[in-house]
Structure 1
Amino acid sequence: MTSTPYTVSDVMSAKVIAVTPTTGFKDIAAAMRRWKVTALPVVEGEGRVVGVVSEADLLPKEEFHEHRPGLIEQMRRLDETAKAGSTRAEDLMSAPALTIRPDATLPQAARLMAERHVKRLPVVDGNGTLRGIVSRSDLLKVFLRSDEELAADIRRHVVEHLFPLSHASVRVAVSHGVATLTGTVQDGGLIPLAERLARAVEGVVDVRCRLEAPAVA
């Protein structure tokens, strides 16, 4: 049995700075600057996420600060011109909010961020209540696992599981996240699977599989 995949709850930040729908423009900008973030979840009631306000939502006010957009430009950019005249989070935010559940895997979170071109996601429970925030940098935390920890994980959940009779002859070495498997195993047909499972271990950067099977006489 392979190791349990890391989930969003393992790497997310539980401390989250959020605003309410009535938070004003300047307070939003000040919060972003103070906490060095580019987006803030918008919550109401007991923490239910209703939207996200980002730097991109605030920029139209600066863009149209010195000139009033003409009718054609207003029609072409309705959303931006509307936000340029807004002063509260509920009118500036993007809604519904793009969120993720705590039990989502890291690849799922990474894929969602890439597809929707966002840098962070509010983490919500089944009721839509804010539980944390996960960013691109959080997803990279698994690559900070030590080489020793990765080697032990590969040996325990891959080598010993696939090769119960010949695991003692397999050497697992990890250097800077790159795992190297060497040795002779009885079932050569499982070697490709061993490489694939080792590569799937959270934090492994690459795998060099040099396992061999006994030559057939």
Structure 2
Amino acid sequence: MPVTAPHIVSDVMTAPAVAVARATRFKDIVRVMNERRVSAVPVVGGEGWVVGVVSEAELLPKEEFRDGRPTRLERLRRPSDLARAEGLSAEEVMSAPAVTVPADATLAQAARLMAVHHVKRLPVVDDEDRLRGIVSRGDLLKVFLRPDDDIEEEVRRTVVAYLFPLHAHAIHVSVRDGIVTLRGPVHDNSLIWVAERLVSALEGVVDVEVSLTCEDPGAAGAGPSPPTGRPA
């Protein structure tokens, strides 16, 4: 089946990434983040290996506990934040180990990592864990900026022409704001749900509305029509 390879992280990441060294001083970290307008930076060691991440969340305890009087409850519940409040370098305030993503990971894999680890961005690394770039939530959403015409062409070429070669000319495909609509006759009722799944998996597709009908009820695989489209 002719398919277009899914976008990978290296397609959308920001490179080169802003990074700091283990020994970078607290004030210099803040300066770098302010000048580059980023809310987090990877911390790299020798050979460019990613050893941690410093975000605004790791820096704020310095201000929060500036008066030096944490409550007893805070000392019990937030020892790591109190330690960061006293930190003077990137190594002393960073989160480690860093959650990273390979440059060849799919956008779906990167999105899952962000969701599982509750982070907004991921350092992108090569096969030797060296920093190559950084990918954010906004970068992952860029795929939904794909033009409707491009999506329509791929649906026709990789799904309709492959699954329904005898009826490809009669199947109407339209795309609006990333929502794909399929209408027309097909020869095998059992392939309707397959078409919906394949179209849903294409990059940039927001939703799929299916109105395909089997023109020959006695055809192989025909039977009660599977649910199509999505519930209201």
Shorter-chain TM-score category? over 0.9
Partner secondary structure for residue 46 of structure 1: helix
* Structure-to-structure mapping, 1:46-85, within 5 angstroms: 46-69=47-70, 73-85=74-86
Mapped pair 1:197 → 2:169: no
Amino acid at match of 2:190: G
* Structure-to-structure mapping, 1:1-217, within 5 angstroms: 1=1, 2-69=3-70, 73-216=74-217
Shift of 1:66: 1.8
Pair 70,194 (structure 1): closer, same or farther in 2 beyond 3 Å = closer
Between the two proteins, what is the percent identity of the paired residues? 55
Pair 73,175 (structure 1): closer, same or farther in 2 beyond 3 Å = closer
Distance 2:81 2:68 in 1: 14
Distance 1:152 1:3 in 2: 11
Shift of 1:132: 0.9
TM superposition outliers: structure 1 runs of 4+ over 3 Å: 70-73
Amino acid at match of 2:124: V
Amino acid at match of 1:149: D
Pair 82,178 (structure 1): closer, same or farther in 2 beyond 3 Å = same
Corresponding position of 2:228: none
RMSD of aligned alpha carbons: 1.4
Shift of 1:73: 3.6
Shift of 1:70: 5.1
Amino acid at match of 1:166: H
**Which TM-score applies when normalising by structure 2?**
0.89
The CA deviation string for residues 156-188 of structure 1, in whole angstroms up to 9 with x for no partner, is 111111112221211211011111111111122
Greater Cα shift, 27-36 or 67-76? 67-76
Distance 2:11 2:126 in 1: 14
Question: Contact (CA 8 Å) 2:187, 2:216: kept in 1 or not?
Answer: no
Amino acid at match of 2:142: K
Greater Cα shift, 66-75 or 76-85? 66-75
Distance 2:147 2:110 in 1: 23
Structure 1 gaps of 5+ residues are none
Partner secondary structure for residue 41 of structure 2: strand
The CA deviation string for residues 86-137 of structure 1, in whole angstroms up to 9 with x for no partner, is 1100111011110000111111111111111110000001111001110000
Amino acid at match of 1:49: V
Partner secondary structure for residue 108 of structure 2: helix
Partner secondary structure for residue 115 of structure 2: helix
Amino acid at match of 2:167: S
Distance 1:142 1:72 in 2: 45
**Which TM-score applies when normalising by structure 1?**
0.95
The CA deviation string for residues 36-60 of structure 1, in whole angstroms up to 9 with x for no partner, is 2111000122211011011111111
Distance 1:140 1:73 in 2: 37
Amino acid at match of 2:137: R
Greater Cα shift, 89-98 or 102-111? 102-111
Structure 2 gaps of 5+ residues are 219-232
